[in-house]
Chain A
Amino acid sequence: MPSFVRHLLLIVAPLIAAFAILPGVYDNHLLLFNFVIFLILAQGVNIIYGFTGYLPFGYVGFFGAGAYGFAIMVMHFQTPAPLAVLVAGVVGVLLGLLLTPLLRLSGAYFAIANLAAALAVLHFVANPALESITKGPYGVALNGTFNPTLAYVGAVIILALTLGIVVFLRNSSFGMALQAVREDAVSAAMAGVNVVKMRVIAWLASALVAGLAGGVFAWYVSVFYPDNVFSNDFSIFAIVFALFGGVATIMGPIVGVLILYGVYNLIGFTTPQYFQLIYGVLIMALVLFLPAGLVSLATRRGWNVP
């Protein structure tokens, strides 16, 4: 059996099946939905950071842009929700295209510029001067399309798509080439890899899934403010989840989300400051003691982690 079929059957199919069945047996649908969203975002970060080494510190920009793309289609063009979710993905890709010049920057400059880009999009959308289009800082309410059940199904489909992309990257020469570029762009170019094209494709794929996730999120919650959908917590959580599990693998980000987001919900929100404190300490400990993620515990012993 080729390895990508094995990965699809043994990892992707059970996960998707579990999230398809769980709403029937578990009552907290919002929590399940959030799990799916974070799985999508963590894998989106995995696509761009794990395989190309660019840290998208403003990843939420695509998510928020997707959410607003959805909202604008529904508010101004009365688009049916599934179509508006697709438009949200397109908006993510367009923003990605607009930001492709950022890929010229390296290392921390890219991360900071990406953060600035996300904040710029937030302040643009939240500007009271654009109230007639985006409703500015006052938020949007999309009562007409409110349908959490369908939105959840949409989110699971997007998760399947995202996992499909990661399985492809993990098992194809394309993914190998990307990792070669990440390790040493000059040598990879010498070996005949089209560095720029590769990076742009990975970047746009990662923007696409975040845009779609934003659209389906807007569909699910239906009432939100710019500060909600552009909250940089989404970027941070997605990055930390992906790193905690281990990037450039299929399993890593999945394990990261299931464990860390699970713990997050177990601790609860009773005192946000203590929560922030624990989370900060956890992040620092992660970087200092386990910088290559949980999967490194296995790979160190020579086990192959998909």
Chain B
Amino acid sequence: MLAYPLIAGVLFGLYFSLLGIGLNLVFGVMRIVNLAHGDFLMLGAFVAFGVFYLLGLDPLLAVPLAFVLFVIVGIVLYGLLVPRLQQSRDPEMLSIILFFGLSQVIEALVTIAFGTSERSIPSRELGSLMTAAAKALGAKPEGGPVDILGQSFPAAWVISAVVSVIAIGLVYVYLYRTRLGTLTRAVMSRRDEAFATGINVDRVCAAAFGIGLGLAAIAGVFAPFMFGSVTPAFGADATVTAFVIVVLGSLGNPLGTALGGVVYGICYMLVQTFLSSWADLLPYVLLILVLLLRPSGLLGRKVRVA
């Protein structure tokens, strides 16, 4: 009875971590609240729709495509928006309003282009390329649900969770094993001192912004499978969920976001199983409680008290 929601919670939780990690990176590095985060997720889902319905390929192929595309979009957007924003008196607050405007623009453009209907992709299509490749090599791949500890789960959930773990691992490698990542962490902890030591803060930030949007787009590719369907208006809710996860974990720490995602995923599944009519309240109440009781997040240093 408890095994199913717990395992499903971990699978969803790993995916939720991916959903939040881009937001974490952007806020941690630039102190900018990307309220359009969810809209980039939605755009990622539309890349998946394009790859599947227009090209007829495995939606999994949308992952690298969406990532590269939105890293470029992110770097361009950074150049257009952020330097001007940083000149204003209260960039952190104004970023909320600026990116709210951006999210409205994205939602409107996508609605004008594709309409408001709900879109989805049949669940079995995710990973169809791997299945085909395995068949070609003579193996007998199992389609359909995957068994974990005697419970069966849709294969799409497992694939999403696995890709999420890989993506978070790569973010970790980026931050802790590459030069640009080290510089990123320097900017994260003290922007002005990083600037004073001669770090090209703008370049580091542009890279972080691009990667943040790219990660959001990757998470978006799996959104049709995890949430059933996606509409252009999907972004706003996704943004709040991503915020809960980021705040639950802690700022600037990818492992914290992973933990936050898993905690959130398990809570989500438990509430859905046992108290379903109150499930909608969960993210908001959890967010407020965490902010008030442990504002630095589960793994964080003390940073946020006024």
Interface pair A105/B105, CB less than 8 Å apart: no
Q: What CA separation (Å) do A284 and B244 show in the bound complex?
A: 25
A-B contact count (CB 8 A): 138
Interface pair A113/B89, CB less than 8 Å apart: no
Q: A104-B305, A105-B304 are in contact. Are A273 and B112 (CB under 8 A)?
A: yes
Whether A221 is near chain B, meaning CB under 8 Å from some CB there, is no
Q: A117-B284, A283-B97 are in contact. Are A106 and B85 (CB under 8 A)?
A: no
Whether A287 is near chain B, meaning CB under 8 Å from some CB there, is yes
Interface pair B291/A105, CB less than 8 Å apart: yes
A286: chain B residues at CB < 8 Å are 97, 101
Interface pair A112/B88, CB less than 8 Å apart: no
B129: chain A residues at CB < 8 Å are none
CB distance from A6 to the nearest CB of B (A): 28
CB distance from A41 to the nearest CB of B (A): 16
Q: A109-B295, A276-B104, A277-B112 are in contact. Are A287 and B94 (CB under 8 A)?
A: yes
Kindly identify which residue among A129, A287, A288 contacts B278, using a CB–CB cutoff of 8 Å.
A129
Whether A178 is near chain B, meaning CB under 8 Å from some CB there, is no
CB distance from B39 to the nearest CB of A (A): 10
Q: A116-B283, A243-B97, A284-B101 are in contact. Are A106 and B306 (CB under 8 A)?
A: yes
Interface pair B105/A284, CB less than 8 Å apart: yes
Q: What CA separation (Å) do A105 and B302 show in the bound complex?
A: 12
Interface pair B33/A53, CB less than 8 Å apart: no
Whether B54 is near chain A, meaning CB under 8 Å from some CB there, is no
Interface pair B105/A280, CB less than 8 Å apart: yes
Whether A144 is near chain B, meaning CB under 8 Å from some CB there, is no
Q: A123-B280, A288-B81, A288-B84 are in contact. Are A108 and B92 (CB under 8 A)?
A: yes
Whether B299 is near chain A, meaning CB under 8 Å from some CB there, is no
Interface pair A107/B108, CB less than 8 Å apart: no
Q: A108-B92, A113-B291, A287-B88 are in contact. Are A280 and B108 (CB under 8 A)?
A: yes
Whether A101 is near chain B, meaning CB under 8 Å from some CB there, is yes
A276-303 at interface with B (beta carbon < 8 Å): 276-277, 279-284, 286-288, 291-292
A274: chain B residues at CB < 8 Å are 108, 112
Interface pair B278/A127, CB less than 8 Å apart: yes
B196-228 at interface with A (beta carbon < 8 Å): none
Q: How large is the interface on B (under 10, 10 to 19, 20 to 34, 35 or more residues)?
A: 35 or more
B93: chain A residues at CB < 8 Å are 53, 55, 107-108, 111
Kindly identify which residue among A101, A103, A239 contacts B97, using a CB–CB cutoff of 8 Å.
A239
Kindly identify which residue among B95, B97, B280, B284 contacts A116, using a CB–CB cutoff of 8 Å.
B284
A55: chain B residues at CB < 8 Å are 93, 96
Kindly identify which residue among B88, B102, B240, B283 contacts A284, using a CB–CB cutoff of 8 Å.
B102
Interface pair B284/A284, CB less than 8 Å apart: no
B281: chain A residues at CB < 8 Å are 120, 123-124, 127
Whether B98 is near chain A, meaning CB under 8 Å from some CB there, is yes
Interface pair B108/A276, CB less than 8 Å apart: yes
A113: chain B residues at CB < 8 Å are 287-288, 291-292
Contact with A along B94-123 (1 / 0, CB 8 A): 111110111111111101100000000000
CB distance from B22 to the nearest CB of A (A): 16
In the complex, what residue of chain A is closest to B246 when comparing beta carbons?
A112
B278: chain A residues at CB < 8 Å are 127, 129
Interface pair A106/B305, CB less than 8 Å apart: yes
Interface pair A287/B277, CB less than 8 Å apart: no
Interface pair A273/B111, CB less than 8 Å apart: yes
CB distance from B150 to the nearest CB of A (A): 33
CB distance from A203 to the nearest CB of B (A): 13
Interface pair B291/A102, CB less than 8 Å apart: yes
User: What are 6 sample pairs from A and B whose C-beta atoms fall under 8 A apart?
Assistant: A112-B291, A124-B281, A276-B105, A276-B108, A280-B101, A287-B88
Give the A-binding residues of B (Cβ under 8 A): 27, 31, 33, 81, 84-85, 88-90, 92-98, 100-109, 111-112, 240, 243-244, 247, 277-278, 280-281, 283-285, 287-288, 291-292, 295, 304-306
Give the B-binding residues of A (Cβ under 8 A): 53, 55, 57, 101-113, 115-117, 119-120, 123-124, 127-129, 185, 236, 239-240, 243, 273-274, 276-277, 279-284, 286-288, 291-292
